[in-house]
Structure 1
């Protein structure tokens, strides 16, 4: 019973023992059962308890239900990617004392983590993750699997893709009705280049987003599906181009420049992989024009633009190098993969072959292995293996091949 939760909350807030509160009203045992919702009570007893705590129970019950509705609205704002509304609701909830009631507190704690992950504030999310506790009696509940969903997002955002997949696939979808997590599973599988599985979960996610009329996430999921369709072989390019341009128009109509930038980059990539370098460079420039320079996406798209320009001989190497070095100088994202890839591009532009392969060996390959990015790790292993063989370093080549074989064997056994 809600009334019992409210009595307990205000009693503890006012630092009164059960004995102090019930003196002359009822027994401590009776109050204990009221607080736990295990017994009926007379209105007279409830009125006296409320009078002693100086609360209006009707008003407090109304506020309790309002808090539950507010928490649901906050979660919806986050899922719908309505940033301004999510921030406003977070500030409003911070002012409400009733969020200290245990069941509301747990929901609020979990949603607070979700909010900070949504805002990409990893440090703050970690701080709240360390504090949250799921009671044993809630094992396999909605809250239990919501926590798993949050941890799956956290692992994804911190680059631990295998952990993200392991955590998200442990969710029981029959008990956790927020099927948004299919989208995060699709992203995690996409990040390890497991394209068929990524597409599978994207299809499940888009069904959920269509049911909930979540246009922003429909765009995000359609984008993932397009990427997967073109991942291993060239899909029907006129159809691919048509779908990208349609999504770009929707972004314009909905005022979503960040989504538009990603789509422009992806379209540039589709031209680049077909060796249509001038068209690729055009779409990359379109993306760069709307991406803030402080974002990791800016460096990633710039790297794509520079690579396309180099491969298509669209600009002199010295100008491309100056452009790269200036971007690195202005950026604070020294720990990000996009920064490292742009550094590698600089080494190529300077024609430093030995330094290029040394950087792959000492920095790039260990980074992607640690990240769990199987596709990129294998890509650089192949580049390094061929370099070793061409330069007569057969021991290094064999060692690399052996490590790759052992990794693949371990993956097969564990899978």
Structure 2
């Protein structure tokens, strides 16, 4: 409707209602027009469009239907993560959408363009679209809002804001159920991924299994492997190492066979964690090293966590010089990457522990680590910090403080493992 178009282009021009209405009509008149409560007179409409510097030709329903179908077809290409085909279609679609005056077409394309840039890990472009879409989130049709929330969840996940990512993921699921929209397995997978990051193991495993079932039905092997990784991580956390090993081994075989590089990097990392939990230090170091090499060679950004685990393994076998070398390598890259602050904090804590810099360690945990982990709901890392403080205060005979930090750790574990 014409009111929607005036509202859209006014916001695009960063004009207030007062700016647009001045000398043409009252603000209340313009507000009624934008909310489609009244049709403007031809004279006022002409003046408003002139001030907005736009010409709105009519588009027939067939043209709009074909363009809408093309956008949704492009989204299916994005779901398959066929980036070559997605890139080829993007420029042509963008040009067609640019010449369209239909607001729903523009918003539909913007929502899926948001997903496109997230897949390309172009965070700057994704951020621009996130800010643009935020202005219109209350105006999106329910189905489009469902996609917007699910993609916003991915956006915040990539920013390492896991709590906000979870909020948007739950919004997508709730809205999908409300409008009887078939919830895509990607949304359940995204929820599982977030819960895994937050160490909410039973929830992560349940949702990963649900996503795995749905991806298996559609034959999406790549996503099936991703689900198997989460399930394996959960099994290891639930102290079922043999079951975890079986999951990881099968997934790694498929990832190698299909040459899925990113999955191989994550699998070697998690197999390293499995070996570490079984005290197979040499095997753990080999796996972490392989994961690190793959990530560096293929420019996979999430390698700082692997660096941390490598340093931790070398420290555990008293090879502190090598551990510190890895920590230095990790910290030197923190300024170059959109770093997960969790990894930065854990690297610093490990560095202070190895160096025996007790006062710096305690100060850092009190003032930097615990506030961040608490705010980010990263309870597992918060527990580790409480236990380090508990040990420290016990050694200096501050038993009341020591008891407090150990009890805080126990409280968090009980609260989050039910």
- Choose the corresponding residue for 2:321, options 318, 322, 325: 318
Q: Distance between the aligned counterparts of 2:93 and 2:262, measured in 1?
A: 28
Q: Distance between the aligned counterparts of 2:146 and 2:386, measured in 1?
A: 37
Distance change in 2, residues 1:406/1:328 (3 Å): closer
Structure 1 position 268, deviation (Å): 0.8
Matches within 5 A, 1:56-95: 63-95=63-95
Matches within 5 A, 1:291-306: 291-292=295-296, 295-306=300-311
Calculate the TM-score normalised by the size of structure 1: 0.75
Q: Distance between the aligned counterparts of 2:199 and 2:413, measured in 1?
A: 15
Partner of 1:173: 176
Partner of 2:366: 361
Partner of 2:115: 114
Structure 1 position 252, deviation (Å): 1.9
State whether structure 2 residue 393 is matched by structure 1 residue 393. Answer: no
Partner of 2:206: 200
- Choose the corresponding residue for 2:356, options 338, 348, 351: 351
- Choose the corresponding residue for 2:345, options 329, 334, 340: 340
Partner of 2:384: 379
Structure 1 position 173, deviation (Å): 3.1
Structure 2 residue runs without a partner (length 5+): 10-54
Partner of 2:162: 161
Partner of 2:222: 216
State whether structure 2 residue 265 is matched by structure 1 residue 265. Answer: no
Q: Is contact 1:209–1:218 with CA below 8 Å preserved after alignment?
A: yes
Distance change in 2, residues 1:408/1:375 (3 Å): closer
Per-residue CA deviations over 1:173-226 (Å, capped at 9, x if unaligned) read: 343324221111111111211111111111221222223322221111111111
* Bigger Rg, structure 1 or 2: 1
Q: Distance between the aligned counterparts of 1:137 and 1:366, measured in 2?
A: 37
Q: Is contact 1:68–1:104 with CA below 8 Å preserved after alignment?
A: yes
Per-residue CA deviations over 1:130-181 (Å, capped at 9, x if unaligned) read: 2225476756x21122222223223333333333333322323343324221
Q: Distance between the aligned counterparts of 1:285 and 1:408, measured in 2?
A: 31
Per-residue CA deviations over 1:243-299 (Å, capped at 9, x if unaligned) read: 322211211222211110000010011000110101111111211221127654222
Partner secondary structure for residue 175 of structure 2 = coil
Q: Is contact 1:333–1:339 with CA below 8 Å preserved after alignment?
A: no
Q: Is contact 1:99–1:108 with CA below 8 Å preserved after alignment?
A: no
Partner of 2:232: 226
Partner secondary structure for residue 333 of structure 1 = coil
Structure 1 position 342, deviation (Å): 2.5
Distance change in 2, residues 1:234/1:206 (3 Å): closer
Structure 1 residue runs without a partner (length 5+): 13-52
